Chains A and B, each alone.
Chain A
Amino acid sequence: MKPALLGLYVLVAGLWLLELASGASGINLAAALADWWHNTASVARIILFEVRLPRALLALLVGAALASSGAALQGLLRNPLASPDMLGVSQSAALLAVCVLYFGYSRLAWFVLPLAALCGAALAVLLLLQLTRRLASAQALILAGIALTALTSALTTFALDYAPNPYALQEVYFWMLGSVANRSNAEVLLALPFFGVGTALLLSCRRCLDALSLGEDTAATLGYPLSQYRWRLIVGVACNVGAAVAVSGSIGFVGLIVPHVLRPLVQSQPGRLLWWSLPGGSVLVLLADVLVQHLPGTQELQLGVLTALLGAPFFLYLLLKQRS
């Protein structure tokens, strides 16, 4: 394994431990682990296993899912500005999740909520694929993404406003900016199968993404016609983004920044980038979540605020670099 990749995994492990050690109550990790080992009940043990562990796991999984989806979308659409939140994929997932959650349908079965989010994400990707066909320019795709993002965000706020639950509208920040706070192990188990399937599907498309560097036609002649891989990519992205949004809202910039930063390290190979985006995404989200818990202030910020603070200036820098 390349040393840089190994370094990424080490960073993931380190940040994960740091995340476990972070929280509003100053519990002693060692004491909590000792309690668990000796099977004694204690508040420290409860906090570690029921509050911090799911949070750390979700940060890790959501980060990997969003970053790999970003890498897959960039490879599929051959556009470095593509990512789930830039193109409205996350927001579409959030819209369907909100509709299902606040109008009661999510109670029908455990998988209804992530499935709805998944459908929202899939529809968005399908729409974008169609647009790529018709509009040859990369700019047009981004504009379409901006329009889709604006539309779905507005519809989400609309749906929350009309939901029977009077508290719904206050939760718009969660859906728009995302958070992994106050999650439980139930959410981890809910999302895990979707992350697993999604990541497996995306990883099976690595060679196709490499071949696509030369364009769809040449990729077909190299043995990787997009028609054979398209559904895997759509469903893969939808599973990852859908599950991530269902449990943690729409966290922005992860799918954009991580592939960009890692691209030079993999010599722009889209297939390798997919692999590297997994730990890369975990690093970013874990880092952002650790910062969110340590920043001074009376209330904890939403995670998306921090990824935006890290990502938006970077995005502007990218645009400036493209011009020149």
Chain B
Amino acid sequence: MTPLLSAQDLSVHTADGQVLLKPVSLQVHSGEVVGVIGANGAGKSTLLKALAGIRPVPNGSIQLAGQEAPTLSSLQRAQILGYLEQRPQLHWPMQVQQVVALARLSFGDRELPDGIAAIAAALAATSMTAFSQRDFLQLSEGEKLLVNLARVLAGAPRLLLADEPTAALDPAHQHRVMQLLRQRAAAGMAVLVVLHDLTLAARYCDRLLLLHKGALLAEGTPAAVLSSANLQHAFHIDAVLDTASHAVIIRTSH
């Protein structure tokens, strides 16, 4: 089966030659949740941005839904891919409903039945329907994130790229978001999610990509990737993965 997303030798340099990401190759298939983990500065966000088509432009090649990324127009790309950024901003005071509606810009149906239905469904999926008329800027960080997740889902993407969606959430919401992603994957979406919480990664991801200092250190099932050796090397922690509870138990850290 053709992967929904596939990249070869993807690397990112800044204008003055600094290497943010060393050549990485990866694939994400529809139906799977792939997690990207690593310490701060490992290049996780850079990888996601490169795949989402945000500057800086990466070297290497990317294929989305079987087509070379450069052959796709911005609008076509927007309809295949959904990107949830790490710290979503909103510059104007808008209601939740309108923020979510922005996902339908490329479809041009914000006021039309299809768009309205997609927006309503997305709000329902994230349990934010009660918040539709609320002022976005007045919400808590967790609520804002859920609204943005709804926004991404309203675009009905086939591939979802999420950058640390659980960072500002309380444990209950963290699990709810991950379960939602799993449900979407089960319905056919391909999900690539950056996570900082190793337990969540172990529990909800089919595969993991471990980045270390801009390079791909390990790739595979959580059990394989979260070995004590890798945890030591990448995170400088002396820890072990408990496969039953998916918890990463830290013995000491230095």
Contact = CB atoms under 8 A, between A and B. Distances in A.
- Interchain residue pairs A-B with the least CB separation, the first 8: A223-B78, A223-B106, A221-B83, A268-B92, A78-B91, A223-B75, A215-B89, A223-B74
B79 interface: yes
Contact of A218 (B74, B88, B106): B88
Interface of B: 49, 52-55, 74-75, 77-79, 81-83, 85, 88-95, 98-99, 102-103, 105-106, 108, 155
B235 to A, nearest CB: 27
Contacts, number: 78
B106 A222 contact: yes
A215 B85 contact: yes
Contacts of A270: 92
A207 interface: yes
A293 interface: no
B74 A225 contact: yes
A15 B55 CA distance: 48
Nearest to A74: B92
Contacts of A263: 92
Interface centre among A207, A214, A220, by most chain B C-beta atoms within 10 angstroms, is A214
A211 interface: yes
B55 to A, nearest CB: 8
Interface string A210-234: 1111110110111111001000000
A224 B77 CA distance: 10
B105 A207 contact: yes
Q: What interface size band does chain A fall in?
A: 20 to 34
A218 B54 CA distance: 8
Contact of A267 (B54, B81, B88, B95): B95
Contact of B102 (A211, A217, A220, A225): A211
Interface of A: 78, 207, 210-215, 217-218, 220-225, 228, 263, 267-270
Given A211-B105, A213-B90, A214-B89, A220 B79 contact: no
B57 to A, nearest CB: 10
Nearest to A208: B105
Contacts of A78: 91-92
A215 B83 CA distance: 12
Given A213-B102, A267-B98, A269-B98, A221 B81 contact: yes
Contact of B52 (A211, A214, A215, A221): A221
Given A223-B78, A223-B105, 19 more contacts: A78-B92, A207-B108, A210-B105, A211-B102, A213-B94, A214-B88, A215-B85, A218-B85, A218-B89, A220-B52, A220-B54, A220-B55, A221-B77, A221-B81, A222-B155, A223-B75, A225-B74, A267-B94, A268-B92
A212 to B, nearest CB: 7
Contacts of A207: 105, 108
Contacts of A221: 52-54, 77-78, 81-83
Contact of B54 (A212, A217, A224, A228): A217
A220 B106 CA distance: 11
A218 B82 CA distance: 9
A269 B83 CA distance: 21
19 contacts: A78-B91, A78-B92, A210-B102, A211-B102, A211-B105, A213-B91, A213-B92, A214-B99, A214-B102, A215-B89, A221-B83, A222-B105, A223-B79, A223-B105, A224-B105, A225-B53, A225-B74, A263-B92, A269-B98
A224 B94 contact: no
A91 B62 CA distance: 46
A303 B49 CA distance: 49
Given A211-B102, A211-B105, A223 B77 contact: yes
A220 B94 CA distance: 20
B91 to A, nearest CB: 4
Contact of B93 (A215, A225, A268): A268
Contacts of A213: 90-92, 94, 102
A134 to B, nearest CB: 14
Nearest to A268: B92
Nearest to A77: B91
Contacts of B81: 221
Contacts of A218: 83, 85, 88-89
A212 B90 CA distance: 9
